[in-house]
A = this chain, B = another copy of it.
Amino acid sequence: MLSFEGAQTLGDAAIVEKLASLPLDGLRHQVATKDAQPCEGGILINVTGQLLAGGESNPQFFCQTFLLKPEGGSYYVQNDIFRLVYGL
């Protein structure tokens, strides 16, 4: 499952469609922190940092959480939560 800025998308095909719809051209990430924990036979990962959209000059804070599960010698993303971080 993908939660992107509060919008939930379930299943491979729907998630690929959702990601393809996002305006990611020229987007740059600057990772500030990475944490990983063993979790249910997989790896729970949390990343924070800043991202700069193409053509923008003001970076935005973000955090993204993944649960990676092993399968066939590799990993797949079972859970994915992305949020921009800002005040109210």
Contacts and interface: CB of A to CB of B under 8 A. Distances in A.
B87 A37 contact: no
Contacts of A38: 1
Contacts of A86: 32, 61
Contacts of A81: 35, 37, 44, 46, 65
* Range class of the A interface residue count: 20 to 34
A50 B87 contact: yes
B44 A65 contact: yes
Interface of A: 1, 3, 6, 8, 30, 32-33, 35, 37-40, 44, 46, 48-50, 59, 61-63, 65, 67, 78-79, 81, 83, 85-88
